[in-house]
Amino acid sequence: MATMPSHGLRLRHLTTTTTTTRPFLRTLCSSLSTQASLPEDSAQVQVQQQPGKPNKSYFPKRGQTLELVCESLGFKGKGLCKVADTGFVVMCDRALPGERFIGRVTRKKDNYAEVTKVKTISPHWDFVDAPCEYASYCGGCKTQNLSYEAQLRAKEQQVRELVMHVGKFSCEELESLNIMKPIVPCDIQFHYRNKMEFSFGTQEWLPKELLLEKQDGSESYALGLHAPGFFDKVLNVNKCLLQSEPANMVLAAIQDCWRDPQLGISAYNVHSHAGFLKHLMLRTGRDVKTGLPELMVNFVTSSYKPELLKPLVEKISSIPEVVSVMNNVNSSIGNTSVGEEEYTLYGKSTITEMLRGLTFQISANSFFQTNTHQAEVLYKLIEECVGLRGDGSEIVLDLFCGTGTIGLTLARKARQVYGYEVVTQAIADACLNAKLNNIYNATFVQGDLNKIDESFGNNFPKPDVVISDPNRPGMHMKLIKFLLKLKAPRIVYVSCNPATCARDLDYLCHGVIDKNLEGCYKLKSLQAVDMFPHTPHIECVCLLELC
């Protein structure tokens, strides 16, 4: 397995006993084990009666205030708390482990409640000052004021508990067989994102404590990130500490002039569907020859009016790193950043990035690993788990291949790589990237892996190793059934959602009783990788071998 990068932190290895219980996770286990995929907002919690406690349940009322202590981080990074004496589970956004606070109940389900933090009584453990001025309001970096070491501990603990309670792997099994590896930290904790998407809005959102600073009640245009919980309100952002410095220079330059009435530019209104500017997407790559950063700026607009964008293009093209300015036109009422038409307003239509010795062309709408630095670490770990002999004799099946980045980094050691992906543009990019790197033993096929039938697998030889990198809902039961029938010697499961990952590991290793499917794999290793510091997102790499 890959060694941990040097990061200057002494991580405490987490230990979990079989008596450790998490009611939230036990119910999540039950719900996941009976579904082929899990919507992100459908996780449920359940209170287990504690020994010696009276058999009663406590249902707090909406609007009621409670004094709570956050025990750990859970679903979407929310703090998990319990009501004193009853054990009733309460979830609070932006509550961190050890924090004692007053919370007001905003939403109540049958067996858990959600609260909003009203006042902190005593701060959480491992408190640090967040360097970003928007950290308290923006929905992106919820744990900036939690020390990075503590963030890693919380993520590793969450993965371990999900693997135990959802995946049904015992603590003894994980420890004695050395299955759970320590989480891999990210050496770069800021300015690591190579892609950021900002929204234009007709209504600037301000937190309550800043509303008094606004002198009048008029609405003002905003360019930034959506306020948490709102699709129509935008938090104005002048600088984001997650993106590159050249990208912040572009953002500042656009913020400086786009509201000028003389330009005649309007922000898109998601209610009336009037207005011009929808999104600003900034992508950072590297020049292959010099290694210097190169930047793509993509304006997403409701119509094609290049004359309106000309002043902005002229201003940002003076920034040396800007080599591409694109315009995606999305005339539908939908507010996505992918347009029906695409135009090059300045420079070239793609930028390049290097990963594991390969060069990749990145277009405005290409999928590419968002953290290039940590992707190097992730892909090295995947390559070691795949374990190709290097004699060019083995077949690799790359499921959910995206633009082919994983499969292409393995192709030179394999006989043939077969990649499958539902997104047509991603397949086109994968083929282009294969040609760009003179790789001719990789075949990429467009297809929906959630809708495979009995004929799937007939058009490629039996693979020696399967790589599966699904999106957050995990693998569909049809694909689980196919893999259990295929019986490839090794499966490397790459996951961006440890909950559905744990569920799928349970299916592959222990079977699915109600589907009359027997598991036929052993979990050999599982390692969490922190791809996105200060966020609740966790990546996992799992190695399974045929029994």
> Annotated binding residues for S-adenosyl-L-methionine, as ranges?
369, 400, 421, 469
Q: Which residues are annotated binding-site positions?
A: 369, 400, 421, 469
Determine phi and psi for 168, rounding to 5 degrees: 65, 35
- Among 84, 82, 81, 91, residue whose Cα is nearest residue 113: 91
The strand pairing partners of 70, in sequence order, are 81
> What token pair was written down for 29?
């286990």
Q: How far apart are CA 242 and CA 375, in angstroms?
A: 16
Q: How far apart are CA 73 and CA 8, in angstroms?
A: 24
Q: How far apart are CA 409 and CA 407, in angstroms?
A: 5
Q: How far apart are CA 520 and CA 178, in angstroms?
A: 20
- Among 527, 520, 465, 475, residue whose Cα is nearest residue 501: 475
Contact 69, 58 (CB under 8 A): no
- Among 435, 298, 307, residue whose Cα is nearest residue 363: 298
Which of 431, 496, 509, 520 is catalytic? The answer is: 496
Q: How far apart are CA 284 and CA 73, in angstroms?
A: 31
Helix count and strand count (H, E) for the chain: 10, 22
Q: Please list, in sequence order, all residues whose beta carbon lies within 8 angstroms of the beta carbon of residue 25, skipping any fewer than 6 positions away.
A: 74, 161, 162, 165, 166
> What token pair was written down for 466?
């399967």
Give yes or no: 496 in active site: yes
Known catalytic residues? 496
